[in-house]
Amino acid sequence: MNNRNKFSLRHGLGVAAMALVSSMFYSCGSGAAENKTLPIYGEREAVERTVNGQTVTDTIYHQVPAFAFINQDSQRVTEETVAGKIYVSDFFFTSCPSICPKMKSQMLRVYETYKDNPQVVLLSHSIDPQHDTVAVLRDYADRLGIETEKWHLVTGERDSIYDIASQYLVAAQQDAGAEGGFTHGGDFILVDGDRHIRGNYNGTEAEDVDRLIADIKVLLNEKKNEKK
């Protein structure tokens, strides 16, 4: 088994376990969204810092690292683009013959629900950057009928895209044996304003996307309560 397949299996099991925890958080109790909470995905990391001349170790939650890509309007998209915002991330390619059309139809539901809320954005990464140029992504965005400031379709260096996928706890890779030449899941990843992963959803299933739409509201309420 190669390293990428090991990664896919390991994180697949991890995501499945966290999805179970998430469902427990979501189903327990019958209060409104403002009374619910969502887990933070990923393993905690030990970080050393100096306090009053002493080295102390803090344990922090996994955070999506800094990134830099280019969107359908040739604009640079970085972690600063989504700073303080709730965003949904996924991985696709425009010539995908299998799950991508269904994923995009479901992501459009998220887009339509929150298109007037500036605190929510969408970030879709092409895993076929050689084909999916800015011009190709612009055409794809036009066919979807989306606004760039709300939904960024990004491209970049192939390895950078595959590496950032691993930071979202999903796998994406080139695979000559796969339909369309690439392997990726249908995951929609929910990320909060601190770039912590708060949910993973099957982007091909309407029922799971319903849960995502509801969980975005949970994070919006969480953010509102933090300001009080």
What residues contact residue 213 under an 8 Å CB cut-off, 6+ apart? 109, 110, 113
- Which of 17-21, 54-58, 70-74, 81-85 has the lowest average pLDDT? 17-21
What does the pLDDT look like over 74-87, one tens digit per residue? 999 999 999 999 99
Query: pLDDT-based confidence at 42, cuts 50/70/90?
Result: very high
Q: What is the pLDDT of residue 161?
A: 96
Ligand-binding annotation for 152, yes or no, is no
Q: What is the pLDDT of residue 54?
A: 87
Q: What is the pLDDT of residue 35?
A: 76
Q: Are 120 and 85 in contact (CB under 8 A)?
A: yes
CATH number corresponding to 3-226:
3.40.30.10
Number of H helices, E strands in the chain: 5, 11
How much of the chain, in percent, has pLDDT values that exceed 90? 64
Tokens found for residue 151:
């939904």
What number is the average pLDDT over the span 61-67? Answer: 96
What number is the average pLDDT over the span 68-95? Answer: 97
Ligand-binding annotation for 196, yes or no, is no
Q: What is the pLDDT of residue 58?
A: 84
Helices of type H across the chain = 3-27, 100-114, 134-144, 158-167, 206-226
- DSSP conformational letter for 84: T
Tokens found for residue 51:
């306090």
Q: Is the pLDDT of residue 33 over 50?
A: yes
- DSSP conformational letter for 35: G
Cα(47)–Cα(42) distance, rounded to whole angstroms? 15
Tokens found for residue 223:
């953010």
Q: Which amino acid is at 109?
A: R
Q: b vs e for 179-189, b when ≥16 Cβ sit within 10 Å of the residue's Cβ?
A: ebbbbbbbbbb
Q: What is the pLDDT of residue 181?
A: 64
Cα(188)–Cα(182) distance, rounded to whole angstroms? 17
Q: Is 182 helix (H, G, I), strand (E, B) or coil?
A: strand
Q: Is 110 helix (H, G, I), strand (E, B) or coil?
A: helix
DSSP secondary structure, 13-25, as one string:
HHHHHHHHHHHHH
Q: What is the pTM of this model?
A: 0.81
Per-domain residue ranges of the chain: 3-226
Ligand-binding annotation for 28, yes or no, is no
Q: What is the pLDDT of residue 18?
A: 45
